[in-house]
Amino acid sequence: MHSQRTSDVSPQAPLAVDFLIIGGGIAGLSCALALARVGHRVLVLEKGDGLNNRGGGGMRVPPNMSKVLFHWGLKPVLRRVALTSTPILFSKFHTGEILGIQKWDDELLRETRGEFMLMTHHDLYQVIYDAAVALGVKIRFNVEVADIDPDERAVQLANGEILTADVLIGADGEKGMCRRLMFDGRERVQPTGYTIYDVTFSALRAMEKMDDETKKLVKFEDNTVFAAFGNRMGASGYPIGNREKLAFHFFMPEESTDAAYGDPPATGLKDLVRDQCDARLKVVVDEATDVHRLSVNNHENLDDWVHDSSNLVVVGQAAHPIAPGGIQGTAMVIEDAAVLAKLFSHLHSKDQISNFLYAFQDLRQKRCYEAHESELGMIMLFTMEDGPEQEERDRSMQEKYRAGKNVFDAGDSDMGAEGGEQWTQIRTIFGYDCEDEADNWWVQWGLLRERAQSGSQPNGRQSQAGAFDWSAVQIVDQDTSEPTPNGLMTIRC
Ligand SMILES: Cc1cc2nc3c(=O)[nH]c(=O)nc-3n(C[C@H](O)[C@H](O)[C@H](O)COP(=O)(O)OP(=O)(O)OC[C@H]3O[C@@H](n4cnc5c(N)ncnc54)[C@H](O)[C@@H]3O)c2cc1C
């Protein structure tokens, strides 16, 4: 594996500590890279061999994710392996009839400071791996963590070896031991009634089947994303790699909870679709060999991402499993890494560790849970059952299409309650800057707490781990302020 340099402009933490990351998927590697960028020492333990724990399937990189990767100095290497896309073409899953077009407008993209990119899981893994290794991250493959003792900040490997660190990070995925540990083994997982079939397929073969109207609309070099809305089923597709392949996600009405990335290739898509779809999609369904089946589950939300010991935090899919086949699953993982590193860039004492871990939880939980809800909402929009709401959605889209407008243009009409709401959510999610949020936390709370604590320590007052200690703050009226008692921080108002 070759190395490449990342931007070196990030501030270095005054105190460097040792992180041990359980799981070297995208979450583990991106946390490692982000923490190493701010000067920490990181060891990643991954049970796979570095190849069998990644996939050749496609992923969409939304602007809120690409802006973080750009900030990490990865723009040039992403330009080599990812395609930038602006248009989405909407059609009917069953007939192929065109519903409309959406082009990401320049203003939205400028606002977000990111791009909408398309790439493979395999390539993203390589980009992050290379950058992490270049910054000195140590990664051990073929190493399975068999036991964790957060109180002792220790893990035991399957070969009996014991390793310790200052902070443990659980990045071992939705089925990993860290999530089980945090749930005490009692997590409730419910099926949503949908299963996704991930497919990669020859772009040439798919293009052969394209009708003239679609050919006129689709400029290959624009890297169009296709979205097909159907009656309780749907699909999206887009080019990946050097455009030789298309990645598809088929959303099918099938109850399952156990199907996951890494399982052997699946069959069964053909039986579910039968002859119910547009001829262009039918060719993909009939001829695809590289098919992966993925359950869309509703996982119980984990209240605490930080272990009671304050020595272990869960991140990525281990903290917040997000439905596959969507836009935000991997984006939330990258945002986790960026926020964690921003917080730990301020580390000057090990006493701050627990506070930073709880701040991470506070900053990330709501956002990740909302992203999951939004992803489920998108699946519902794709697979809306035929009826009055679906007719209204289609009518509204086609009206705009005929008028030469973007289907999601705000203002005059919407795509039914579900569609309009989904779109507002998407714009908000794209515009979010997770690193700004972490900076804001530091300015608003972190520094305040630091000052309060340093002032209170001579009196022996300690705040609880993770909670801001309001008892260390005194709010006084500016006009009638008394002298500040020793150990209290004063806010004047
Ligand atoms: C094989 C594979 C293929 C994938 N392909 C795609 C794709 O094509 N498109 C897409 O959008 N997403 C894909 N994903 C999912 C994607 O990685 C996640 O959705 C997300 O981006 C990253 O999540 P994560 O790193 O938190 O979890 P995961 O990706 O699940 O990574 C967790 C890692 O922890 C490791 N691990 C688990 N237990 C232990 C242990 N006890 N000791 C050591 N290591 C352990 C696992 O081997 C795995 O590498 C794939 C995931 C996997 C594992």
Instruction: State the DSSP string of 176-199.
Output: SHHHHHHHTT---EEEEEEEEEEE
Q: CB of 251 within 8 A of CB of 209?
A: no
Ligand 1 atom with the smallest distance to the CA of 316 is 26
User: pLDDT tens across 9-60, in order?
Assistant: 688 999 999 999 999 999 999 999 999 999 999 999 999 999 999 999 999 9
Q: What is the pLDDT of residue 427?
A: 74
* CA 260 – ligand 1 centroid, Å: 10
Burial 333-351 (b: 16+ CB within 10 A, else e): bbbbbbbbbbbbbbbeeee
Beta-carbon contacts of residue 14 (< 8 Å; ≥ 6 apart): 346, 347, 348
Ligand 1 atom with the smallest distance to the CA of 30 is 25
* CA 22 – ligand 1 centroid, Å: 12
Sign of the CA dihedral with 215 first, then 219, 221, and 227 last: negative
Ligand 1 pocket test: pick from 20, 22, 26, 65 the residue with the most ligand atoms within 8 Å of its Cβ. Answer: 26
- Our answer on whether the CB atom of 173 is closer than 6 Å to any ligand 1 atom is yes
Express as a percent the part of the chain with pLDDT over 70: 86
- Our answer on whether the CB atom of 260 is closer than 6 Å to any ligand 1 atom is no
Ligand 1 atom with the smallest distance to the CA of 125 is 17
Ligand 1 pocket test: pick from 317, 320, 364 the residue with the most ligand atoms within 8 Å of its Cβ. Answer: 317
Range from 106-110, 141-145, 286-290, 420-424 that averages highest in pLDDT: 141-145
Q: What is the pLDDT of residue 15?
A: 98
Name the phi and psi angles at 459, rounded to 5: -85, 0
The Cα–Cα gap between 410 and 423 comes to: 9
Name the phi and psi angles at 235, rounded to 5: -155, 155
Q: CB of 88 within 8 A of CB of 81?
A: no
- Our answer on whether the CB atom of 333 is closer than 6 Å to any ligand 1 atom is yes
* CA 433 – ligand 1 centroid, Å: 24
- Predicted confidence band at 222 (pLDDT cuts at 50, 70, 90)? confident
- Our answer on whether the CB atom of 262 is closer than 6 Å to any ligand 1 atom is yes
- Our answer on whether the CB atom of 96 is closer than 6 Å to any ligand 1 atom is no
Q: What is the pLDDT of residue 461?
A: 33
Ligand 1 atom with the smallest distance to the CA of 45 is 43
Q: What is the pLDDT of residue 73?
A: 97
* CA 10 – ligand 1 centroid, Å: 27
Residue tagged 């999609």 (tokens): 281
- Our answer on whether the CB atom of 172 is closer than 6 Å to any ligand 1 atom is yes
CB neighbourhood size of 54 (10 A)? 21
Collapse the DSSP code of 149 into the 3-class scheme (helix H, G, I; strand E, B; otherwise coil) and give the result.
strand
Ligand 1 atom with the smallest distance to the CA of 330 is 21
| Closest residue CA from atom 27 of ligand 1 | 173
The Cα–Cα gap between 181 and 271 comes to: 39
Smallest CA-to-CA distance from 172 within 64, 40, 21 is with 21
Q: What is the pLDDT of residue 423?
A: 65
- Predicted confidence band at 405 (pLDDT cuts at 50, 70, 90)? confident
Q: What is the 3-state secondary structure (H, E, C) of 214-226?
A: HHHHCCHHHCCEE
| Closest residue CA from atom 49 of ligand 1 | 25
End-to-end CA distance of the chain: 58
- Predicted confidence band at 410 (pLDDT cuts at 50, 70, 90)? low
Q: What is the pLDDT of residue 456?
A: 54
Average pLDDT, integer, range 198-210:
87
- Our answer on whether the CB atom of 261 is closer than 6 Å to any ligand 1 atom is yes
CATH of 18-409+418-443, one of 3.40.50.300, 1.10.1060.10, 3.50.50.60, 3.30.450.20: 3.50.50.60
Q: What is the pLDDT of residue 6?
A: 46
- Our answer on whether the CB atom of 25 is closer than 6 Å to any ligand 1 atom is yes
User: pLDDT tens across 454-467, in order?
Assistant: 765 433 333 333 44
- Residue 182 CA, chain-centre distance (Å), reads 20
Task: State yes or no: pLDDT of 166 exceeds 80.
Answer: yes
Task: State yes or no: pLDDT of 400 exceeds 70.
Answer: yes
User: pLDDT tens across 317-349, in order?
Assistant: 999 999 999 999 999 999 999 999 999 999 999
276: its two tokens: 């119910």
Q: CB of 192 within 8 A of CB of 270?
A: no
The Cα–Cα gap between 63 and 327 comes to: 10
* CA 45 – ligand 1 centroid, Å: 13
* CA 128 – ligand 1 centroid, Å: 14
Average pLDDT, integer, range 135-144:
98
Q: What is the pLDDT of residue 103?
A: 87
Express as a percent the part of the chain with pLDDT over 90: 70
- Our answer on whether the CB atom of 145 is closer than 6 Å to any ligand 1 atom is yes
Ligand 1 atom with the smallest distance to the CA of 59 is 11
Task: Output the CA angle 401-403-405, nearest 5 degrees.
Answer: 60
- Predicted confidence band at 2 (pLDDT cuts at 50, 70, 90)? very low
* CA 55 – ligand 1 centroid, Å: 9
The Cα–Cα gap between 253 and 231 comes to: 10
Q: What is the pLDDT of residue 192?
A: 94
Ligand 1 atom with the smallest distance to the CA of 28 is 25
Task: State yes or no: pLDDT of 163 exceeds 70.
Answer: yes
Q: What is the pLDDT of residue 416?
A: 53
Name the phi and psi angles at 325, rounded to 5: 75, 0
Burial of 118 (0-12, 13-18, 19+ CB in 10 A): buried
User: pLDDT tens across 236-262, in order?
Assistant: 999 999 899 999 999 999 999 899 998
Distances (CA, A) of 358 to 309, 353, 446: 12, 9, 11
The mean pLDDT of the chain is 87
Task: State yes or no: pLDDT of 307 exceeds 90.
Answer: yes
Distances (CA, A) of 196 to 249, 259, 293: 6, 9, 6
- Our answer on whether the CB atom of 54 is closer than 6 Å to any ligand 1 atom is yes
pLDDT higher at 287 or 3: 287
- Our answer on whether the CB atom of 53 is closer than 6 Å to any ligand 1 atom is yes
Q: What is the pLDDT of residue 210?
A: 75
Q: CB of 298 within 8 A of CB of 377?
A: no
Ligand 1 atom with the smallest distance to the CA of 48 is 47
Task: State yes or no: pLDDT of 292 exceeds 90.
Answer: yes
* CA 25 – ligand 1 centroid, Å: 5
- Our answer on whether the CB atom of 241 is closer than 6 Å to any ligand 1 atom is no
Antiparallel, parallel or unpaired: β 138-140 and 234-240 = unpaired
Smallest CA-to-CA distance from 286 within 278, 296, 294 is with 278
- Predicted confidence band at 406 (pLDDT cuts at 50, 70, 90)? confident
Smallest CA-to-CA distance from 453 within 354, 377, 328 is with 354
Burial of 11 (0-12, 13-18, 19+ CB in 10 A): exposed
* CA 451 – ligand 1 centroid, Å: 40
Average pLDDT, integer, range 358-379:
94
